């Protein structure tokens, strides 16, 4: 009876060690995947356009008006605008 218990304990110990190794391997795989995801996120963040690059509808209208004024030749330079405003 004593030998059977020792064999059962040894078998259980080996099973636990086996499960721990599997857990450690899975944990390593998860950490590797997380590292890859972090790298991909940094890559995306570096190439993501700045939200200020996009115009709202009012800004688009103003930009189009500016292009039209430029074509008509009625734009005033910043230097001339400062002169007219006395700045």
pLDDT at 40: 97
pLDDT at 1: 56
4: left (phi over 0), alpha (psi -120 to 50) or beta: alpha
Over the range 25-64, which residues count as b (16 or more CB within 10 Å of their CB) and which as e?
Answer: eeeeeeeeeeeeeeeeeeeeeeeeeeeeeeeeeeeeeeee
Per-residue confidence band for 3, with pLDDT thresholds at 50, 70 and 90: low
Tens-digit pLDDT profile for residues 26-51:
999 999 999 999 999 999 998 988 77
pLDDT at 2: 57
pLDDT above 90: residue 5: no
**Spans of all domains in the chain:** 1-48, 51-87
Least confident of 4-8, 25-29, 70-74: 4-8
Q: Are 69 and 75 in contact (CB under 8 A)?
A: yes
């Amino acid at each position: 009876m004593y030998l059977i218990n020792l064999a059962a304990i040894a078998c259980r110990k080996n099973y636990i060690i086996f499960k721990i190794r599997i857990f450690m391997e899975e944990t390593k795989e998860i950490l590797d995947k997380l590292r890859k995801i972090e790298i991909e996120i940094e890559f995306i963040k570096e190439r993501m356009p700045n939200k200020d690059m996009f115009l709202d509808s009012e800004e688009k209208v103003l930009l189009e008006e500016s292009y039209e004024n430029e074509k008509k030749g009625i734009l005033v330079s910043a230097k001339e605008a400062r002169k007219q405003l006395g700045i």
